[in-house]
Structure 1
Amino acid sequence: MELALPVWFEVGSLVVLTLILVADLLIVLKRPHVPSFREATAWVVFYVVLALIFAGLMFLLGDAEHGGQFLAGWLTEYSLSIDNLFVFVIIMSRFAVPRKYQQEVLMVGIILALILRGVFILLGAQLIENFSWIFYIFGAFLLYTAWGQAFGDHENEGEETRLVKLLRRRLSITSEYDGVKLRTRIDGATVFTPMLIVFIAIGTTDLIFALDSIPAIFGITQSPFIVFTANVFALMGLRQLYFLLGGLLERLEYLKYGIAFILAFIGVKLFLHAAHVNELPFINGGEPIEWAPEISTWTSLAVIVVAMVVATVASLAKARVDARKRGHSLMEEVPHFTEGRPGDE
């Protein structure tokens, strides 16, 4: 039987994570800059190690099931966050956000993502508690999302939405940025800056990814605490990861297929779980389908890790071959690695 995690651990974890996020935000506000490669690497490693320590504590204070669920959920959310990051890259490029302001924009995006995911986690937990058939809907949605992830046009995800186009027509928006201000004064008149549109685009992206990610992790665990902490750890360090990967993100060509496979796998898992606890009267007379297999947490964890490793390795191998055909090495074609010290910009 699954052991319950101590209340003090759950409350203490949320307090510590909140303090870390606040400290990260204060660092950005106090010292806005483009992180160097070394600084970004150190922060990403720090957050990954922190997540692994947290998983270890869950193994010790809970049980192997708790620890496995957190690891599988964290890796799933991390992979989806990297995809989210790819769209952030498109948005930053589309609206020509100066690199020195990108840290603040990313931090706002991460905070919005946390808020939206927190809301969806609460709603999802209530739905699951009261309506077990919601797993059928979650499963179908993830299969649909997986198809769009694999075969959709990602290049257009950063294009202007109808709302953004409407704002451009109705509001006076200058073409120049004024730091991260949403409004500025030009010739005595108050006008909006392009940062308003950037924040709206980032927020819209966060909303879409929250809709994808929450059903995905509820397919791994139904514990709201594990769902939320997995999301927090996946989003922490995302800002530094953006600067660490730089132009390399655009060369992870097969990443979308790895993520699509994970989403499809969890979608199937949700269908099987829904069948196992079935209450719908028009399916098997409203009785659970006993023969429907339950996919274990450890199987899920193995599938997620293998999918991401295969997709990443295949992407890097293809990018290296393509670069060699053009007479360059892969690192030479990634601006981040050839600019010397990006932190000095």
Structure 2
Amino acid sequence: MTALPVWFEVGSLVVLTLILVADLLLVIKRPHVPSFRESTLWVVFYIVLALVFAGLMFVIGDAEHGAQFLAGWLTEYSLSIDNLFVFVIIMARFAVPRKYQQEVLMVGIILALILRGIFILLGAQLIENFSWVFYIFGAFLLWTAYNQAFGDHEEEGGDTFLIRMLRRRLAITNDYDGIKLRTTIDGRRFFTPMLIVFVAIGTTDLIFALDSIPAIFGITQSPFIVFTANVFALMGLRQLYFLLGGLLERLEYLKYGIAFILGFIGVKLVLHAMHENELPFINGGEHIEWAPEISTWASLGVIVAAMVVATVASVAKANLDARRRGHTLGEEIPHFTEEGDRAERDESRVER
């Protein structure tokens, strides 16, 4: 696989940085709950942008570069959707007002980028100097796949030890004051619940960074492809949150599709480690030649198939359950719209 031109790598990083900064400024200057149409247009824009970038990888690099980026992007995108699911749990558990959710999501995405960037640098150095790290990555992903399939997702959005400690040690109000971390009440300074939300979001980002970086290093060892795949997977995540609305909670089989992808990549990493083996207590430190190497195209096919099957099965089951209750799926999914927020506030006033 030929190396990508330096101008392309540097130019791509500059353009991606400008897009992320523009997205951040948009949130700061125009805070609002995006409509279904607005969210759809932004999500489509970011997906098309990723596909255009993949096309450039095919043209400027080669087919292997393009396939590695696509496989890496799809893997990270699926994990980002799972990350988004936990964000939904956190937002609901801490009752974050919808008008502040855009800002919270943007902070979560920035934290995710920073943490993943750190892990990419560490992972690249480990892989370059210690090939046996693939055994550890592979075993970790297999354990993560099991936990993903059979663990409790809601625990990830729960009160961690750190959050419980913050509640005990700090004076925290019950009400939000915009996205401020501190507020003044009767001349006294208090922390707001937003501090707890940001800690929960940051902890979640750390956990998913630990999962996602070994996963994509199982597809490519190029730090540039790893980082750009992560950036494209996280871009548009904020709008995707509002687009999917209540549908995320109905994608019942999504976790199994993601677990299958993680398990598959875990096996691929172990096989790669066996093929490159240098550990003296395994096969006398010699390479295990019979260990098959799974191609990038095979990985891409497995990733796409797993996500399609999981999504279709989830939607089919959700539709079936909705019909049993005498509704359609679309009627039961709340959309995050300003009109919906106003109706919800009016309804709560009537109840009071």
Same fold (TM over 0.5): yes
| DSSP-derived class of the 2:335 partner | helix
How far apart in 1 are the matches of 2:155 and 2:267?
Answer: 28
1:143-172 CA-partner distances (Å, limit 9, x unpaired)? 000000000011222111111111111100
How far apart in 2 are the matches of 1:215 and 1:156?
Answer: 23
- Could you say which residue in structure 2 is the equivalent of 1:156? 155
How far apart in 2 are the matches of 1:19 and 1:212?
Answer: 27
Deviation at 1:336, TM superposition (A): 1.3
- Could you say which residue in structure 1 is the equivalent of 2:103? 104
Aligned counterparts, 1:167-246, within 5 A: 167-246=166-245
Percent sequence identity over aligned pairs: 84
Which runs of structure 1 show a deviation greater than 2 angstroms over 4 or more consecutive aligned residues? 339-345
Whether the 8 Å contact between 2:127 and 2:134 is mirrored in structure 1 is: yes
Deviation at 1:131, TM superposition (A): 0.2
RMSD: 1.2
How far apart in 2 are the matches of 1:220 and 1:132?
Answer: 15
Deviation at 1:256, TM superposition (A): 0.1
How far apart in 2 are the matches of 1:73 and 1:323?
Answer: 34
Aligned: 1:282 with 2:281: yes
Aligned: 1:70 with 2:69: yes
Gaps of 5+ in 2: 344-352
1:41-80 CA-partner distances (Å, limit 9, x unpaired)? 0000000000000000000000000000000000000000
Whether the 8 Å contact between 1:35 and 1:343 is mirrored in structure 2 is: no
Compared CA separation, residues 344 and 222, structure 1 to 2 (3 A):
farther
Gaps of 5+ in 1: none
How far apart in 1 are the matches of 2:144 and 2:198?
Answer: 24
Whether the 8 Å contact between 1:36 and 1:344 is mirrored in structure 2 is: no
TM-score by length of 1: 0.98
Whether the 8 Å contact between 2:33 and 2:338 is mirrored in structure 1 is: no
- Could you say which residue in structure 2 is the equivalent of 1:27? 26
| DSSP-derived class of the 1:53 partner | helix
| DSSP-derived class of the 2:184 partner | strand
Residue identity in the other structure for 1:126: Q
How far apart in 1 are the matches of 2:335 and 2:19?
Answer: 27
- Could you say which residue in structure 2 is the equivalent of 1:332? 331
Residue identity in the other structure for 1:19: L
Kindly tell me the number of residue pairs found equivalent between the two proteins: 343
Whether the 8 Å contact between 1:251 and 1:315 is mirrored in structure 2 is: yes
- Could you say which residue in structure 2 is the equivalent of 1:95? 94
- Could you say which residue in structure 2 is the equivalent of 1:299? 298
How far apart in 1 are the matches of 2:114 and 2:155?
Answer: 25
